[in-house]
Structure 1
Amino acid sequence: MTYVRWTLGILILCAYAGILAYSLPSRDIVRVLDTDVVRVAEERTDPQGKEVLVTRDQMRINTITPDGHERVYRNEDTGWSFPWYLKFDSADVAARAQNLKSTEDDPRWVIVTHYGWRMPYFSWFPNAVDLERAEGPDQELTPWFNIVFVTVLTLALITLWRLAQMTFRRKVDPVIDEIEEQRGALRRFWRGLWR
């Protein structure tokens, strides 16, 4: 039973960390190369249950890091969906990115705030939420929001867990003990009939 508890606990911890890693904002210092619009096709199920191919346009921001690695970000509105960035200004972000384009000879470094992961196999790109000028390619970026958010959320979850444990001990344990006592008395009575 101990192995089951540890395995379940590790799986829950991994899921918690994965959700936070995907949805919390990250920041990269990059140089904007170009922006473009790509037609993306997705398979969806319509109300009749048939698979339908749906196409849509996706804005992308092509960048390069100070050490020469390419980074591509999608630029889509999040609207009211999870994660709740309430981003409705993807056209403004695209205009800002076009304005911040630069060449290798005269680089302009930009801080891109984004969430999500880059997974080439699935053609997943992180979603750019905001762009702002950076002081330089070696500017230090400390994720203060993430540190405070994870600390507060973890403390809240620990508090809820402890409250649930205390409630269980006060309300449920006595009922279970009473049922066990009744079952024990019933067993003794049943065994007494046959002796």
Structure 2
Amino acid sequence: MSKLKWIFRGVLALIVALLLWYTLPQHDVVRITEVYNRITTVSWANSAFYASPDSGTAEATNGRDIRFISAAFSDGAPMVYRNEDTGWIWPPYFKYDSSNLQAVASSLKGEKWVMVTHYGWRIPILSIFPNAIAIREVSGPDYTYFPWLNLVIIALLLGLAFWIRAMWLQFRERMVDPAVAEVQEAGDRTKGWFRRLFRR
């Protein structure tokens, strides 16, 4: 039972870590090489990683018309971002300016170095792209950014988790444990009564 408990905790921790990794903002320093729109097929395998159709994405007969931003890292490795409004759905970025962001990306295309703030993963085999949230010019490819917001969010979540655990322990100590003790005591009394009954 103890092993099952630790397996469950490990799986839960892994799910939470993956959810945070996907949802929290990430920052890439890249050069923008191309800005374009493309009809993209969104299937059951990757639909969870795209915005809902009512979040500003135009529908086409064979897919969606989605904005994309192609970029390259300092070592030449390519990166492609989608540029979709998130609306009021998860994750809670409340992004409604994808058209403006596309214009910003177009104006910064070329030899300029920019920091692209995004969430999500790039998984080529499933045609999954991270969603760009903000773009701003930086001094060069060596520019570094410290993720203060991520640390604050993680600290708040840890504080909430510890608070919930403390409340549960207090509830168990005051309500659950006494109730369990009463049930066990009643069971012991019942067993004792049956023993005495059958001894006669």
The answer to whether the superposition gives a TM-score over 0.5 is: yes
Aligned with 1:95: secondary structure? helix
CA RMSD, 1 decimal? 1.3
Q: What is the CA deviation profile of residues 84-125 of structure 1, one whole-angstrom value per residue up to 9, with x for unaligned ones?
A: 0000000001010011110xxxx2000000000111111100
**Given the alignment of the two structures, is residue 180 of structure 1 paired with residue 184 of structure 2, yes or no?**
yes
Instruction: Give how far 1:192 is off.
Output: 2.2
The AA in structure 1 aligned to 2:164 is: L
* In structure 2, C-alpha distance between the alignment counterparts of 1:85 and 1:138, rounded to whole Å: 27
What residue is the counterpart of 2:33 in the other structure? 33
**Counterparts of 1:51-70 in structure 2 under 5 Å?**
55-70=63-78
What is the aligned partner in structure 2 of residue 114 from structure 1?
118
Q: Does 1:147 align with 2:151?
A: yes
Please tell me the residue identity of whatever aligns with 2:17: A
Shift, 1:54, TM fit? 6.2
Which ranges in structure 1 are unaligned for 5 or more consecutive residues?
Answer: 45-52
Kindly report which structure 2 residues correspond to 1:64-83, keeping only aligned pairs within 5 A, or say none: 64-83=72-91
SS at match of 2:172: helix
- 1:54–1:168 CA distance, 2 compared to 1 (3 A): farther
Task: Report the TM-score, using the length of structure 1 for normalisation.
Answer: 0.90
**Corresponding residue number in structure 1 for 2:94:** 86
**8 Å Cα contact 1:43-1:54 kept in structure 2:** no
Task: For residue 41 of structure 2, give the secondary structure of its aligned residue in structure 1.
Answer: strand
1:50 aligned residue:
none
Matched with 1:13 is: 13
The alignment covers a number of residue pairs equal to 183
Unpaired runs of at least 5, structure 2: 45-60
Query: Quick one: which amino acid aligns to residue 100 of structure 1?
Result: L
Instruction: Please give the alpha-carbon distance, in whole angstroms, between the structure 2 residues aligned to 1:75 and 1:133.
Output: 17
1:4 aligns with 2:4: yes
Q: Give the conservation status (yes or no) of the 8 Å contact 1:80–1:86.
A: yes
2:139 corresponds to: 135
Going from structure 1 to structure 2, the CA distance change for 1:177 and 1:57 (only over 3 Å counts) comes to same
**Aligned-partner Cα distance in 1 for 2:175–2:145:** 48
Q: Which amino acid aligns with 2:140?
A: G
Give the one of 91, 97, 117 matched to 2:105.
97
Distance 1:32 1:40 in 2: 21
